[in-house]
């Protein structure tokens, strides 16, 4: 899978790309993530990428032209299955959408900055508008990193324990159950005995009931969805 990220702040993605799962995915050749600096696609002497908004008001708007040039340059090299714009007014990201994105071959992620991009870019090119939550970040780079990480870890072979991604919170519509590691006793608190029993069927039952309980208490909205579809 290939992810092309278009940004005016490429340095913001350096530590994300240089670490963890995403780095491993890239070095294994399973995922390619290329970052494109919008300033390389400007035609003005000052490498201008934004301007004042028509109608007045605070905040700059990202110019259509450098974005369009960058997108068209990428599109001339390969076919893209999705062109995603990170924006707080997009559709709130959920695991189901991440799963669907992870099945695509080539995607572009456009990071917004300042007041966002000229609306005509959205009309002309964007296939999905994605928000990572109901709060406003100073720019779309962190949101693009969140989305890329969530996608990359689902690509087969990226996570060494194949089943681990499937047992994440949300994958079955429930939050994940609690987990423990050594020591068995820590500061007077002990690991639930069932986990030490070696009885895998019973352990799975326990995990499932804990997942249900946790979801019911912490996310009644998810719990309701789960009971509606499973009972
Ligand atoms: N850019 C700024 N805030 C954002 C958010 N919440 N989600 C996606 N992109 C953003």
Average pLDDT for the chain: 95
Residues of CATH 1.10.1270.20 domain(s) within the chain? 169-230
| List of the chain residues with pLDDT < 50 | none
Atom nearest to 132 CA in ligand 1: 7
Distance CA 152, CA 3 (A): 9
194 C-alpha to ligand 1 centroid (Å) = 42
Return the structure tokens found at 83: 């062109």
Residues with beta carbon inside 6 Å of ligand 1? 86-88, 112, 131-133, 135-137, 140, 143
Please write the tens of the pLDDT for every residue from 185-194: 999 999 999 9
Residue appearing with tokens 């007077």: 188
Residue appearing with tokens 């870019």: 121
Asked whether 181 and 51 are in contact (CB, 8 A), the reply is no
91 C-alpha to ligand 1 centroid (Å) = 10
Residues of CATH 3.40.1280.10 domain(s) within the chain? 2-152
The string over 80-118, giving b where at least 16 C-beta atoms fall within 10 Å of a residue's C-beta and e elsewhere, is: bebbbbbbbebeebeeebbeebbeeebbbbbbbbbebbb
Tell me which CATH code domain 169-230 carries.
Answer: 1.10.1270.20
89 C-alpha to ligand 1 centroid (Å) = 8
* pLDDT for res 161: 72
Asked whether 58 and 29 are in contact (CB, 8 A), the reply is no
Separation in Å, CA 16 to CA 93, 130, 187? 19, 19, 35
Tell me which CATH code domain 2-152 carries.
Answer: 3.40.1280.10
């Amino acid at each position: 899978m290939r992810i092309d990220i278009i940004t005016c702040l490429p340095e913001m993605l350096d530590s994300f790309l240089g670490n963890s799962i995403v780095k491993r995915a890239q070095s294994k050749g399973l995922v390619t993530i290329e970052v494109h600096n919008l300033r390389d696609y400007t035609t003005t002497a000052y490498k201008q990428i934004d301007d004042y908004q028509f109608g007045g008001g605070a905040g700059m708007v990202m110019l259509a032209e450098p974005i369009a040039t960058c997108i068209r340059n990428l599109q001339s090299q390969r076919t893209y299955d999705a062109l995603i714009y990170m924006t707080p007014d997009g559709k709130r990201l959920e695991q189901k959408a991440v799963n669907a994105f992870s099945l695509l071959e080539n995607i572009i992620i456009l990071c917004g900055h300042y007041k966002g991009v000229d609306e005509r870019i959205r009309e002309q090119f964007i296939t999905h508008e994605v928000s990572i939550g109901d709060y406003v970040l100073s720019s779309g780079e962190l949101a693009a990193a969140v989305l890329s990480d969530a996608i990359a870890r689902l690509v087969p072979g990226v996570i060494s324990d194949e089943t681990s991604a499937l047992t994440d919170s949300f994958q079955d519509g429930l939050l994940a159950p609690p987990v423990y590691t050594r020591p068995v006793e820590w500061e007077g608190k002990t690991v639930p005995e069932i986990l030490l029993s070696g009885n895998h069927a019973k352990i799975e039952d326990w995990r499932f009931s804990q997942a249900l309980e946790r979801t019911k208490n912490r996310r009644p909205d998810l719990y309701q969805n789960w009971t509606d579809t499973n009972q």
